A and B are shown apart, each in its own frame.
Chain A
Amino acid sequence: MAEFVSVAIDATLLTLVLALAAFGLAIIFGLVGVINMGHGAMLTLGAYFAWWGVSVLGLPFPLAVLLATLGVALVGLALEHWIIRHFYDRPFDTLLLTWAFFIVSTEVIKLVFGPDFRNIANPMSGAIEFSGLSFPTYRSLVAVISLGVIALTALIIFRTTYGIRIRALVQNREVSSLLGLNVAFTYKAVFCLGSGMAGMAGALIAPMMSIDPYIGNVFLVRSFFVVIVGGIGHLLGGTLLGSFLIGGSETLFALFSDQVVAQTIVFLLAIVVLRFRPQGVLSVK
Chain B
Amino acid sequence: MSDAKSGKDVLTRRKFLGGLALGAAATALPAPAIIKSASAADPIKVGVISPLTGAWTVYGRAHIAGYELAVKEINEAGGVLGRPIEIIQADSQTEPRIVAEQANRLIRRDRVDFLAGTFSSAERNAAGPIVESANKVLLYPTFYEGQEQEYYPGVCNPNIFMFGPEPTQQVWPHMEYIINTYGGKFFMIGSDYAWPRVTNMVTKQKLAELGGEVVGEEYIPFNTPQYESVLRDIRNSGADVIFHSLTGSDTVNFRQQLAAAGMKDDFVLWTVDDEEVVTSGLGRDVSANDYVSFDYFMSLQTPNNEAFLKKFKAQFGDDALMNTVGVAMYNAAHMSARALEAAGEVSSEALRANLKGMSFSDAPQGAVKMREIDNQLVLPSYLMRVNPNWTSVNDMFTQVQGFESIEPLTARCANLPL
The B244-266 residues at the A interface (CB cut-off 8 A) are 249, 251-253, 256-257, 259-263
The count of chain B contact residues (Cβ–Cβ below 8 Å) is 41
Chain B residues contacting A14 (CB-CB under 8 Å) are 226, 228-229
Residue of B nearest to A250 (CB): B229
A117 contacts chain B at the CB level, 8 A cutoff: yes
**A102 and B256 alpha carbons, distance in the complex (Å):** 26
A182 contacts chain B at the CB level, 8 A cutoff: no
A139 contacts chain B at the CB level, 8 A cutoff: yes
**A254 and B252 alpha carbons, distance in the complex (Å):** 21
Most buried by A among B55, B229, B262: B229
Chain A residues contacting B278 (CB-CB under 8 Å) are 117
Chain A residues contacting B228 (CB-CB under 8 Å) are 10-11, 13-14, 251
Measured between C-beta atoms, what is the minimum distance from B192 to chain A in Å? 5
Which one, B253, B262, B263, contacts A208 given CB within 8 A?
B253
B282 contacts chain A at the CB level, 8 A cutoff: yes
Which one, B218, B235, B260, B282, contacts A125 given CB within 8 A?
B260
Beta-carbon contact of A209 and B260 below 8 Å: no
Interface residues on A, range: 35 or more
Beta-carbon contact of A259 and B224 below 8 Å: yes
Measured between C-beta atoms, what is the minimum distance from A169 to chain B in Å? 33
Q: Known interface pairs A125-B260, A136-B262, A259-B229. Does A119 touch B221 (Cβ–Cβ under 8 Å)? A: no
Beta-carbon contact of A125 and B256 below 8 Å: no
Most buried by B among A115, A118, A250, A260: A115
**A13 and B231 alpha carbons, distance in the complex (Å):** 13
Chain A residues contacting B252 (CB-CB under 8 Å) are 117, 119, 209-210, 212
B198 contacts chain A at the CB level, 8 A cutoff: no
**A258 and B60 alpha carbons, distance in the complex (Å):** 32
Beta-carbon contact of B232 and A263 below 8 Å: no
**A7 and B262 alpha carbons, distance in the complex (Å):** 17
Which one, B53, B224, B262, B283, contacts A119 given CB within 8 A?
B283
Question: Secondary structure at chain B's binding surface: helix, strand, loop or mixed?
Answer: helix
Chain A residues contacting B249 (CB-CB under 8 Å) are 117, 209-210, 212, 214-215, 218
Beta-carbon contact of A125 and B285 below 8 Å: yes
Beta-carbon contact of A125 and B221 below 8 Å: no
Chain B residues contacting A217 (CB-CB under 8 Å) are 223
Chain A residues contacting B281 (CB-CB under 8 Å) are 116-119, 210-212
Beta-carbon contact of B257 and A208 below 8 Å: yes
B399 contacts chain A at the CB level, 8 A cutoff: no
Which one, A115, A126, A222, contacts B262 given CB within 8 A?
A126
Chain B residues contacting A168 (CB-CB under 8 Å) are none
Measured between C-beta atoms, what is the minimum distance from B188 to chain A in Å? 12
Q: Using a CB–CB distance below 8 Å, which chain A residues touch chain B?
A: 3, 6-7, 10-11, 13-14, 17-18, 21, 110, 115-119, 121-122, 125-127, 134, 136-139, 205, 207-212, 214-215, 217-219, 222, 247, 250-251, 254-255, 258-260, 262-263
Known: A218-B249, A251-B228. 15 other contacts (CB 8 A): A115-B60, A116-B277, A119-B281, A119-B286, A136-B257, A136-B262, A210-B249, A210-B252, A214-B249, A218-B225, A247-B226, A251-B229, A255-B229, A259-B218, A262-B229
A-B pairs, 8 with minimum CB distance: A117-B281, A210-B252, A127-B262, A254-B229, A115-B57, A10-B228, A126-B262, A119-B283
13 intermolecular pairs with C-beta atoms under 8 Å apart: A7-B232, A14-B229, A117-B249, A117-B252, A117-B278, A118-B281, A122-B260, A210-B249, A210-B252, A211-B281, A212-B249, A217-B223, A218-B224
